[in-house]
Amino acid sequence: MIVMGSNTMTLPFKLLICSFEQKQDKRLSKHNIPYFKYFFKNYYIYIIKLKKYVEYSTIYIEFLMKRGLNMRKFVVAGNWKMNHSPNDTRDFFARFNGLVQDSDLEIVLCVPYIDIATALDCVSNTNIKIGAQNLNHQVAGALTGDVSVKMLSDIGVKYSVIGHSERRQYHHETDDYVNLKVKAAFDYGIIPILCVGETLHERELGIAKEKIIIQIRHAFEDLAPDYARKMIIAYEPIWAIGTGKTASKEDACEACKLIRDEIRKMYGNDVAEEVRVLYGGSVKPSNAKELFDNEDIDGGLVGGASLEPDSFAQIVNYNK
């Protein structure tokens, strides 16, 4: 045992003490600054820098907590519906690509079948992804007019809108049919952009929440957690689609939170915090920031405003 000041102090320890007492920094010797003073001065500076680092880290952690610990990547997806020819598609991307080249968001354009090959060619080597607007869950068969999930996967499609209100309304797609499409999409490496939402009549009856929960439960039925965590869900208040009306920020947040809470009940917190939930009711440049600057909303599914490169780019660049 070493006791300071005693005769039992070992020689190596004495030498160490002497070296600290006598050593002076050569660069500072002309100022007669002892080594200890120089050492502790720099140590103090180090502590101050460390304190600032901790403060900045705390701010960043608070940001992570607000946006979710898994740092869900923001998604802005455009749905062209039945618009644009292949020539229109070339013109669109000739303008659009340069406007969003510095974006770190996940940018997706879901285009008509006839435009997919052209669109894929136009966005090669860019940060833009191409999706479909629908798919058939079967690999092949006597289904005139349909396009199979395998066909889309084979040409490089990575996303597909599934269960859009217009498909449910005009093509009578049921919740069970949507579930088949969701599972088939994942099996072939396509990420579903699942659409859920209530009609104006359902909203007025006070059953909007129940309608959304039923759609979520059916769509996720028998879906493995590893697939579920990759899902993109778009809340689309049907009464706001194409009408120019938009749900209030509070209504949009409430619905998106409801969706995540339901996923949490089904799969637990880890999966719920990875699922991206978008707002999809008449998103435009003038309201994008107000909607997107909320912790429960992870981006948007954009309809009419995605048809023009400048307006869609403004939405993608909403925070710049």
Q: Mark whether 250 is an active-site residue.
A: no
Which of these is catalytic: 106, 173, 236, 262? 236
User: What stretch of H or E contains 130?
Assistant: strand 128-132
CA dihedral of residues 186, 191, 197, 199 (deg, nearest 10)? -90
Mention every residue, 6+ apart, whose C-beta is less than 8 A from residue 232: 75, 77, 159, 191, 192, 193, 194, 275, 276, 278
Q: Mark whether 62 is an active-site residue.
A: no
Q: Do 163 and 197 form a contact (C-beta atoms < 8 A)? A: no
Mention every residue, 6+ apart, whose C-beta is less than 8 A from residue 100: 107, 127, 128, 313, 316, 317
Of residues 221, 157, 220, the one with CA closest to residue 189: 157
H-only helix segments in the chain: 11-22, 35-67, 86-99, 116-122, 149-154, 165-170, 175-187, 200-205, 208-219, 225-228, 249-267, 269-272, 288-292, 309-316
Which of these is catalytic: 164, 166, 173, 198? 164
Q: Looking at the annotation, which residues are catalytic? A: 164, 236
